[in-house]
Structure 1
């Protein structure tokens, strides 16, 4: 058993100073140092360190890892052309080798940013079959994180192969470490025939899909099918409980009510929205409808904490006031991200309490101003978010970052990744 001693901890609900935390795969005991009795534990001294639950990226695209530094002819006039000129060239040209190495790079960089759980939305056009197991191998087996995976069904690919990849993975892997959703790229890239095929076999697997990331998604749905996206998905009986609907920038009130009715969750990714120039979400619409909202980064970076800060800023910008939306709303979404991932994996994440999974990070932090449970989240966002560098990370009690470093064999693999990226770039 491991004992962290003399630590301060914050789990988005409770803040306590000079504590000990004892854990194996789960947290066993937490208390003040005055009550600590050493029983031959592996003791890690945590003076001047803050312990938190491992972080969660609520919507990721691991395949985007190899977009870094990629230069292509790029002159888009709308969101569809951004997809055509960059992202669909990138994901459509990836094979299993690219999937594996992008998983290693993304996983290692995520761990260094304190991320212990990734909810990924994957696509690899050259190799569909086996791609999710390859991601699992990289992220869960080798890096040591938890992963929730799916393949983006799209008419750009062999739709039957996409369906089979989602089904086989989701049915084979349902543990506290790995699980599968049923991936759909976006309604605009799926025909009626494809949605009908999916509807016949999906059973009760929740979907993971982009919704109205651009107004073009809604416009095309109305033009082609005479109905808005959420109504179309409802007609195909695809709005399963715990489905993850990403972005939802241009849904209307009726769609929001349906999302709430079917107990779906929305994932926001505002940094990506700004990068693509597509707009920003209407948080108040989600709130009025009672829709659970979580936070992802859409594959635009390695960390998740900057998304919390950007979400706060962008909502101020959208509302043209800093008083309608604040860190309290961001904190609510952070907590909801733990609730959602826990429900999919069937375990307890996000608290530093006995019985919760020992997904923990430790980071040096000496508060320069008073810190308590009421202002601790502000310390994170304005004191740590732009310089987030954990010293230790554990997932399920296993140390996956040790004094700022991952295992050397992982770094050896990481160093080989650029060769795989070069091969991908040459294909593009």
Structure 2
């Protein structure tokens, strides 16, 4: 039995001071006051920290790892130019080795930032088949994180291989890893492709970019005379638990259809602002009670930056300092925990008996009194603003202790630099 002691616990539901957490076989067995601590075989002192559940990134692109420092001619005038000039140049030249090492690096940096579960939307043009296994190998098998992966089916790739990769990977489900059916976006998927996917997908949830840019919306209306959501629905692709990423340009009719279909929306505020595509209208999502989660679209690894930006961005988008508050933030964070719990068949997101021991400790010395009534204010304006976890556990396995990962990161980063150099050469970057 392992224990965290002298812990101030906050799990986005309850705040408990001076507590202990007992866990064994990857699961929390008991939580109580320190005066009742029964002892344990291995003890971790959490004095001076806040203990929270491991965080979740609900929409990311691990392959973005090798874009860091990549110098390409980049002068976008519209969103499609961003894809053509940057992302499609990169993912089109990724093979299994580069997928594996980008996954290892991304996973290491997730652990450093308290992220224990990711929902990834993957693409690698040189190696489609077997690429998701490479992500699983690095992120889940070797690092010990949880992952929900899919391959980005697109007409620019071999459709048959994309479909086979998604279907085969989704068959192997565990409490640590599973698959969705990935698609890029309406504007890169023909009717023939959607028809083929629809004929084989059965009940597998999809993971797709929707209305990230106005171009995606305009393309759908011009070619098919309908909205993106109506198009996906007509092909029977809005399966229960599907993830629709972005949804920046949406009307009420579309959102109502999303709600009836049992899909979730993954908002990515930092990426949306970076690409200047706008911000989603959370008021409409809230009106129709669509579950919304938070991702970062592969823009770094620190998801707390998106926690901050969604609050600031939504206040601006909704023209009100009160229309998206800290309670709204907690709601979308907990939606992510509920989604991962449901898809993987486990319980994450609370520090209670029966939940997985996915835990992080963050040193915090409050400059003002800290209690159950003001913990959210401390968290948002203090902890998230200077986020630096000390320890990270996933399923009871300590992946980082006192800021040090339990693997040889020097070797991993060295090999990643070699692999990224090969990728850049294939893109013709000196």
TM-score category by the smaller chain?
over 0.9
| Other-structure match for 1:289 | 288
| Other-structure match for 2:325 | 326
Distance 2:320 2:101 in 1: 43
- 1:187-336 to 2 correspondences below 5 Å: 187-336=186-335
Mapped contact 2:50–2:362 kept (Cα < 8 A): yes
Instruction: Classify the secondary structure of the residue corresponding to 1:30.
Output: strand
Distance 2:349 2:425 in 1: 42
Mapped contact 2:183–2:207 kept (Cα < 8 A): yes
Mapped contact 1:62–1:120 kept (Cα < 8 A): yes
Which deviations, in whole Å up to 9, do the C-alpha atoms of 1:229-278 show, x marking residues without a partner?
00000110000000000000112111101100011000000000000000
Q: Which moved more, 1:120-129 or 1:365-374?
A: 365-374
Mapped contact 1:13–1:373 kept (Cα < 8 A): no
Mapped contact 2:244–2:263 kept (Cα < 8 A): yes
Distance 1:401 1:78 in 2: 41
| Other-structure match for 1:372 | 371
| Other-structure match for 2:156 | 156
Task: Report the CA distance between 1:377 and its aligned residue.
Answer: 2.1
Mapped contact 2:281–2:318 kept (Cα < 8 A): no
- 1:414-425 to 2 correspondences below 5 Å: 414-425=413-424
| Other-structure match for 1:33 | 34
Confirm or deny that 1:146 pairs with 2:146.
yes
Distance 1:346 1:410 in 2: 31
Confirm or deny that 1:67 pairs with 2:67.
yes
Task: Report the CA distance between 1:108 and its aligned residue.
Answer: 0.2
Mapped contact 1:118–1:146 kept (Cα < 8 A): yes
Instruction: Classify the secondary structure of the residue corresponding to 2:8.
Output: strand
Distance 1:78 1:268 in 2: 20
| Other-structure match for 2:401 | 402
| Other-structure match for 2:125 | 125
Tell me the C-alpha RMSD between the 2 structures.
0.9
Distance 1:182 1:105 in 2: 24
Which deviations, in whole Å up to 9, do the C-alpha atoms of 1:78-99 show, x marking residues without a partner?
0011111111111111111110
Distance 1:177 1:414 in 2: 25
| Other-structure match for 1:8 | 8
Distance 2:135 2:284 in 1: 35
Distance 1:402 1:223 in 2: 54
Distance 1:372 1:162 in 2: 50
Q: Which moved more, 1:46-55 or 1:410-419?
A: 410-419
Q: Which runs of 5+ in 2 are unaligned?
A: none
Mapped contact 2:60–2:298 kept (Cα < 8 A): yes
Q: TM-score, normalised by structure 2?
A: 0.98
Which deviations, in whole Å up to 9, do the C-alpha atoms of 1:60-113 show, x marking residues without a partner?
100011111111111111001111111111111111111011001100000000
Which deviations, in whole Å up to 9, do the C-alpha atoms of 1:216-235 show, x marking residues without a partner?
11100000011110000011
Which deviations, in whole Å up to 9, do the C-alpha atoms of 1:140-167 show, x marking residues without a partner?
0111100000000000100100000000
Mapped contact 1:305–1:385 kept (Cα < 8 A): yes
Task: Report the CA distance between 1:410 and its aligned residue.
Answer: 4.0
Distance 2:379 2:108 in 1: 22
Distance 2:201 2:409 in 1: 36
Confirm or deny that 1:77 pairs with 2:54.
no
Instruction: Classify the secondary structure of the residue corresponding to 1:150.
Output: strand
Confirm or deny that 1:166 pairs with 2:166.
yes
Which deviations, in whole Å up to 9, do the C-alpha atoms of 1:149-188 show, x marking residues without a partner?
00000001001000000000001x2111001000000011
| Other-structure match for 1:390 | 389
Which deviations, in whole Å up to 9, do the C-alpha atoms of 1:284-327 show, x marking residues without a partner?
01011110000000000111111011001111111232122211
Q: Which moved more, 1:274-283 or 1:364-373?
A: 364-373
Task: Report the CA distance between 1:346 and its aligned residue.
Answer: 0.6
Distance 1:232 1:289 in 2: 20
- Give structure 1 regions of 4+ aligned residues with deviation exceeding 3 angstroms: none
Distance 1:419 1:202 in 2: 38
Distance 2:247 2:49 in 1: 38
| Other-structure match for 1:110 | 110
Distance 1:69 1:133 in 2: 27
Instruction: Classify the secondary structure of the residue corresponding to 1:340.
Output: helix
Task: Report the CA distance between 1:366 and its aligned residue.
Answer: 2.1
Mapped contact 2:211–2:249 kept (Cα < 8 A): yes
Task: Report the CA distance between 1:372 and its aligned residue.
Answer: 2.4
Distance 2:10 2:230 in 1: 41
Instruction: Classify the secondary structure of the residue corresponding to 2:355.
Output: coil
Distance 1:217 1:112 in 2: 35
Distance 1:370 1:347 in 2: 35
Mapped contact 1:143–1:410 kept (Cα < 8 A): no
Task: Report the CA distance between 1:416 and its aligned residue.
Answer: 1.6
